[in-house]
Structure 1
Amino acid sequence: MGFTQESLAEAVGVEFSTVGRWERGVLTPQPWRRPRLARVLKVSLEELDDLLDPDVAGVPVSNSLQVAEHQTAPGKPDNGRFGQSGTAPVPGNELQEADVGKSPSPVKSSEPNRRIFLKTSGITAIGATLSTPPAVLQALEIVTSQDADTLDIAADCLEELVCHYSEKLPVAPPSEVYGDLLAVRKFADSLLVRSDSSTRRRADVIASTGWISNLLAVATSYMGNHGSSLVWCLDAERHGHNSGNRDIAAWATFTRATMAYYQGRTNSSAELSGTGQRIASPGTVVFAKLASHEMRSVAMVGDVRRMQEAKKRATAAIEGLQASTTRSGVFSIALSEDPPYTATSLLLLQRFEEAALATERVIETAYGADAGDHGGLSSNHSRTLLILGLARAGIGDVDGAVAAGRQALDGSVVWPTLVLARKLDQALMRTHRSLPEVVEYHELCRSLADSVTVGGNE
């Protein structure tokens, strides 16, 4: 059994519709995508180039493609606040992959080979690899197969795996984590089917299943698959209620509120933040995060009074947290002098210098050398850098804005990160489009534009 378009897209890090266009010969993979595609297909880069462009073998990849820029409908003006229009802004020009259907006949003649390669030899070759159960699932099945207390052992394993993937997801490409999480989630379901309601530790497995659904919700939102993320959020809420763990449901609501925020649905984001605070247990990380998120949501619409009220609640909630509170991973909070998202709220009110100072404090305390990111630049760290870039752009510090923007894109670029990166790109291009460093950052953003869905649609 070979890859589907969707599973190949996840492995390569593109939308499944892009794979379909590759197969139909409408597009050809861009040069920067080919190394990863070659690794996934387990062929050399030279073999991949020959199969995709047989008539230009020996010609450098950068010269064998024609890159066309296509004009897209501009979004509404943001009137000084990013996201003000209610939709995620889109740059005026999008970098599209080469339209070989309009190329001269020598390039068109490669279409049958390309389609055959992607649909049969390449996809089938890796189908066996992807159809093999992930190593984590094989491990779970082995350690729980011959013990009478299977549920007890499995419950311990699932709790540890929740912690493991909570740390891994912010720093790894979400498509690499998604497969493992899905396999573990199916395994947890099978345990619940095999056990009755009186089985010891069943409630623990239900809770872990809810936490895994929360992680799947975050992973799919990072990939821009918002419909899937919503389903996983609802599933996490259900398991949270069934297990009696309110925080599982509250984190699911936080993910929904965050998605709404980056989609530009400000009112929904604020309402979900309030709903989540009513669900969450007081004195918990998720309660503090929801209060902080409400602060930036209402700041987006310029409601200063409500922003200050939310900030007071967030500050009080953070002061009540224990010193041992988790500061890394999906279910964590970055502690500094100000509640999370204070800098974003100031930025939305166009208080740029204050926003820059607040962001620098967060970076120093939460993401400094001592804090660490457990293996790479986390998605939260990347977004914080982009907020700093937007603040510096507002001040007029172009070099600082570009430097922060480029550093933010050094890690794994996920959907919320790309939304902010493009906002910074727009801010810089409005007033400094003639500067080489701004043009270079603009090109970088365009090159990443088709890797993640922006705007909330699958």
Structure 2
Amino acid sequence: MGLAERRKALGYSQEGLAHVLGVDRTTVGRWETGKTSIQPPLRPKYAEALQLGLAELDALVTRPATTPREPVGSSSGDRHGSRDRHGSGDRDDVIRREFLRALAVAGAGLPSGETDNVVEGVQRQASDDFLRMNGHLWQVYQLARAKASVYPIVRDQLAVLAKTLGHRSDTEARALCGAAGDIFQLAGELAFDDNRYTDAAASYLLAASASKEAGSYDLWACALTRHAYVDVHERRYHEAVGILSAAERIARRGDSSLSTRHWVAAVQAEAFAGLGDLAACERALDRAEKVVHLAGSTQNKGWLRFDGSRLAEERGARYVQLGRLDLAERTLRGALGQVALAEGQSFRRRGVVLANLAAIGVKRKDPEQVVTYGRQALHLAQESSSGYVVRRLQALRADFGGLAHDVRVAELDAEIDALSATHREG
């Protein structure tokens, strides 16, 4: 048994073990593959996490890894299960570093001011080609039941874009940065849905950096909003409020015909609800609802998809957070009918609404409501393989308390536990 096998036997993902040790996930990956040595100050903590003595840890460290990683350029293993589901491996890091390096040296191709009409035409063509492909990938992602199936194509698109940036002039790179800010947000969405929070945050930060370089305020604000969502889901609400405040300021400089600032407000409402601030939450929801007054298209069906269709779901979920159960139930029941008619992400969206209705049952100590809605949400999580819905069910399970003595709730508890284990191992 090697380090990776020992970690998996104890139920840790690379992300989870990294959190325990206070290091980055990629550091754990490099230790497991023998690419770097474990720093002496971290060895006792690492041994304790793996439930080993230092001598036993040393024995595992000196033993070669049983499943070495394939080279970065390989496509077969990366796409068919060689990576830890909760840690994408070194290839994502390589792509991100390549993008940053390409951005840094992009100006070496042509001196400033020497672009001509031919170069500008090539620049526009390359950027347009990437944006068209990005738009297609967002559509596939939106329609896919199993979001992870889109990941290999997105990873390839990122790799090609990073390589293309490395051979462009300053002016061309700036145009391509818009495409990068777009596709890095999709990569972050996929990582987030797969419970890889470190990868998601890194992708969102790169998306924000690229969007800023491109001078695209709406794209930049959306990247920051997605990054804040990582904090929201890890209950770091104060940190999320700070990022969202910056996103709000940037969105004001963007296109007022787009729904960016309204989406920022919707996520602000969730952060304020997490802080227990009902008044601030209501104000943010009211700002979000003004999206219905926008004329024409309010979204581009890619990195910005907020059109107000989810406002009932959002408001209901916020009332659950704040303990306003009657308001929450009435709102969520209405939202359930709307989601049933929605296309694309209806599995994921419906699963979250059902989990919130089950959460109301938990707060009311009503096992019938918990089981009725919880089992439906569980079924949708199984159908969609959505890590997002699984997380909501895990949070629900953590609050069962005395309800777990009810036979039906105990059965649901066991099924959620089994689904969570399958999701970790998948």
Same fold by TM (over 0.5)?
A: yes
The one of 390, 399, 403 equivalent to 2:359 is: 390
Cα deviation 1:64-88 (Å, max 9, x = unaligned): xxxxxxxxx9xxxxxxxxxxxxxxx
**Between Structure 1 and Structure 2, how many residues are aligned?**
329
Cα deviation 1:402-428 (Å, max 9, x = unaligned): 23432442343444433311122233x
Residue aligning to 2:67:
119
The one of 414, 437, 443 equivalent to 2:408 is: 437
Compute the TM-score of the two structures, normalised by the length of structure 1: 0.62
Question: 2:248 touches 2:264 (CA, 8 Å); kept in 1?
Answer: yes
Structure 2 residue runs without a partner (length 5+): 12-19, 21-62, 80-117
Residue aligning to 2:156:
183
Separation in structure 2 between the aligned mates of residue 354 and residue 335 of structure 1, nearest angstrom: 19
Structure 1 residue runs without a partner (length 5+): 1-17, 30-72, 74-114, 133-146, 454-458
Separation in structure 2 between the aligned mates of residue 422 and residue 25 of structure 1, nearest angstrom: 21
1:275-424 alignment runs, 5 A limit: 275-280=246-251, 281=254, 282-316=256-290, 318-322=291-295, 324-326=297-299, 331-333=304-306, 335-336=308-309, 338=311, 341-365=314-338, 367-369=339-341, 371-373=342-344, 377-378=347-348, 380-395=349-364, 396=366, 397-424=369-396
How far did residue 217 of structure 1 move? 1.6
How far did residue 338 of structure 1 move? 4.2
How far did residue 334 of structure 1 move? 5.6
What amino acid is aligned across from residue 347 of structure 1 in structure 2?
A: V
Cα deviation 1:118-158 (Å, max 9, x = unaligned): 738x999xx762479xxxxxxxxxxxxxx996554443332
What amino acid is aligned across from residue 364 of structure 1 in structure 2?
A: G
- Cα distance, 1:26–1:304 mapped onto 2, change above 3 Å: closer
Residue aligning to 2:209:
238
Separation in structure 1 between the aligned mates of residue 184 and residue 228 of structure 2, nearest angstrom: 16
Task: Give secondary structure in 1 for the equivalent of 2:337.
Answer: helix
Separation in structure 2 between the aligned mates of residue 258 and residue 364 of structure 1, nearest angstrom: 26
Question: 2:265 touches 2:287 (CA, 8 Å); kept in 1?
Answer: yes
Residue aligning to 2:139:
167
Task: Give secondary structure in 2 for the equivalent of 1:449.
Answer: helix
Separation in structure 2 between the aligned mates of residue 321 and residue 216 of structure 1, nearest angstrom: 29
User: Where do 4+ consecutive residues of structure 1 move more than 6 Å?
Assistant: 115-118
What amino acid is aligned across from residue 164 of structure 1 in structure 2?
A: H
- Cα distance, 1:336–1:176 mapped onto 2, change above 3 Å: closer
2:205 is the counterpart of 1:205: no
Separation in structure 2 between the aligned mates of residue 196 and residue 157 of structure 1, nearest angstrom: 17
Same amino acid, percent of matched pairs: 14
Comparing 302-311 and 407-416, the one that deviates more: 407-416
How far did residue 260 of structure 1 move? 0.6
Separation in structure 2 between the aligned mates of residue 263 and residue 250 of structure 1, nearest angstrom: 20
How far did residue 304 of structure 1 move? 1.6
Compute the TM-score of the two structures, normalised by the length of structure 2: 0.66
Residue aligning to 1:93:
none
Residue aligning to 2:193:
222
Which structure is higher in helix share? 2
- Cα distance, 1:166–1:384 mapped onto 2, change above 3 Å: farther
Residue aligning to 2:168:
195
Question: 2:204 touches 2:227 (CA, 8 Å); kept in 1?
Answer: yes
Comparing 318-327 and 272-281, the one that deviates more: 318-327
- Cα distance, 1:196–1:295 mapped onto 2, change above 3 Å: same
Separation in structure 1 between the aligned mates of residue 210 and residue 294 of structure 2, nearest angstrom: 25
- Cα distance, 1:229–1:26 mapped onto 2, change above 3 Å: closer
The one of 258, 262, 269 equivalent to 2:240 is: 269
Question: 2:141 touches 2:150 (CA, 8 Å); kept in 1?
Answer: yes
Cα deviation 1:318-341 (Å, max 9, x = unaligned): 133345434966631263494662
Separation in structure 1 between the aligned mates of residue 240 and residue 214 of structure 2, nearest angstrom: 26
How far did residue 343 of structure 1 move? 0.9
How far did residue 222 of structure 1 move? 2.0
Separation in structure 2 between the aligned mates of residue 19 and residue 383 of structure 1, nearest angstrom: 38
How far did residue 373 of structure 1 move? 1.9
- Aligned Cα root-mean-square deviation (Å): 3.8
Separation in structure 1 between the aligned mates of residue 2 and residue 233 of structure 2, nearest angstrom: 26
How far did residue 401 of structure 1 move? 2.8
What amino acid is aligned across from residue 356 of structure 2 in structure 1?
A: I
What amino acid is aligned across from residue 205 of structure 1 in structure 2?
A: L
